[in-house]
Amino acid sequence: MNNQASFNTDVAVIGAGPVGLFCVFQCGMLKMSTHVIDALPATGGQCTALYPEKPIYDIPAAPAINAQDLIRKLEAQIKPFKPEVHLDQQVVALERQGQQWQLTTASGMSITAKAVIIAAGAGAFGPNKPPLANIGQYEGKTVHYLVQNRELFRDQRLVIAGGGDSAVDWALSLADIAAHIYVVHRRDKFRALPENVDQMRALAEQGKLELVIPYQLANLEGQDDQLTAVHVKTLKGEERRLEADHLLSFFGLVNKLGPINDWGLNIHNGLIQVEPTTCATNLPGVFAVGDIAGYPHKLKLILSGFAEVAQAAHAAFAYVYPNEALHFEHSTSTGVPAPQAQ
């Protein structure tokens, strides 16, 4: 995936969780344009990725609202400001360019901005990779975190690791094309659709795949990017060597600060330290809000994040319009731009 597009904006927002989305509104009210970037293929951050169906009870004036509905309503609220949202790409670099900041994403897109608001939660969502030595050398070639092309696995020996829906679904789907499948899981219980688990156990009884339980991944054997075997072990230390051409690792999503650690920000235990009245970080024109912002007595709540966004947007104004006075106004006086027919 390569994407050489480049954009210019007043404020670049890293993260499209609830707090990142609300940045579009607050900046928009102060006549600042925004571009929002997220590593996930959808907006909503934790609300969408972890608990879309759960009701949230502590959003002011919404006695109960499903996480997914909260995101839909935020999107409706920011729509008048014509948000530019770039999904499925992680911001990997943040560099000073004169008086501005340049952000670069993993796919090569770049955004130049007068101010940056980091609303990155606990970091970019990505695959939860098992901490195996040298796993990086096989990634993309013989170690996979998602399946893009089933045909790659025809007549291949596979180790599928994990105990959730992805592991079970792919074991079922690949059983008739793979040469052999080992399903490695730490316990006999799978947290997946019961029908599918039953079907997988039936295939195991017919010898179409092998359940390797209760084992965990221990290490990888191979050369260059070609895997030859996966070593697994039990809690008691019993080991097995499973000959395999590919490892499909399905341990869900995790957040990683990753590159954010390298931008020169003051980070403590995963939180970017900010001055709480402005959400300013130690870098000029760079603000942090929401779950990733750290200050004494911080509460990781959506409502705190929203308030931080208002503080940050007002403080960012000085970087976007250095020569203009900022007048405080209520939304009841300014209104919002009229929705335009698209």
Partner 1 sequence: MPRITFITVDGERVETDAKAGNSVMEVAKELDLPMLAACGGALACATCHVIVEEDWFEKTGELSEDEEDLLDTAHDLTETSRLCCQIKVSDDLDGLVVRLTPME
Q: Name the site residues for partner 1 (rule: CB under 8 A).
A: 46, 50-51, 122, 128, 130-131, 162-164, 185-187, 189, 191, 216-217, 235, 251-252, 254-257, 269-270, 300
Q: Which is nearer to partner 1, 99 or 261 (CB)?
A: 261
Task: Count the residues of the shown chain that bind ligand FAD, applying the rule CB under 6 A.
Answer: 35
| Of the candidate residues 9, 33, 34, 46, the single one contacting ligand FAD (CB under 6 A) | 46
Residues numbered 92-151 forming contacts with ligand FAD, rule: CB under 6 A: 119-125
- Per partner kind, with CB cut-offs from 5 to 8 A, the member of ligand FAD, partner 1, none near residue 39 is ligand FAD
Across 287-322, b (16+ Cβ under 10 Å) vs e yields bbbbbbbbeeeeeeebebbbebbbbbbbbbbbbbee
Q: Which is nearer to ligand FAD, 39 or 168 (CB)?
A: 39
Q: Does 17 bind ligand FAD (CB under 6 A)?
A: yes
Does residue 7 contact residue 83 with C-beta atoms inside 8 Å? no
| Of the candidate residues 70, 91, 159, 174, the single one contacting ligand FAD (CB under 6 A) | 91
Residue showing tokens 């959506």: 302
DSSP 121: T
Residue showing tokens 């530019």: 84
Length of the chain: 342
The residue with its CB nearest to ligand FAD is 121
- Measured CA to CA, the distance from residue 32 to residue 205 in angstroms comes to 62
For residue 74, the minimal CB distance to partner 1 (Å) is 20
Q: Which is nearer to partner 1, 46 or 281 (CB)?
A: 46
- Per partner kind, with CB cut-offs from 5 to 8 A, the member of partner 1, ligand FAD, none near residue 47 is ligand FAD
- Per partner kind, with CB cut-offs from 5 to 8 A, the member of ligand FAD, partner 1, none near residue 164 is partner 1
Q: Which is nearer to ligand FAD, 14 or 274 (CB)?
A: 14
Does residue 212 contact residue 241 with C-beta atoms inside 8 Å? no
Q: Does 245 bind ligand FAD (CB under 6 A)?
A: no
| Of the candidate residues 27, 32, 36, 40, the single one contacting ligand FAD (CB under 6 A) | 40
Q: Does 36 bind ligand FAD (CB under 6 A)?
A: no
- Measured CA to CA, the distance from residue 45 to residue 244 in angstroms comes to 35
Quickly list DSSP for 134-202.
THHHHBTTTEESS-S-GGGGTT-EEEEE-SBHHHHHHHHHHTTTSSEEEEE-SSS--BS-HHHHHHHHH
- Measured CA to CA, the distance from residue 251 to residue 299 in angstroms comes to 28
Residue 144 half-sphere exposure toward CB, CA atoms < 13 A? 20
Q: Which is nearer to ligand FAD, 50 or 147 (CB)?
A: 50
Q: Which is nearer to partner 1, 17 or 285 (CB)?
A: 17
- Measured CA to CA, the distance from residue 247 to residue 253 in angstroms comes to 17
Binding site for ligand FAD (CB under 6 A): 14-20, 37-40, 45-47, 50-51, 56, 58, 90-91, 119-125, 260, 290-291, 300-303, 305
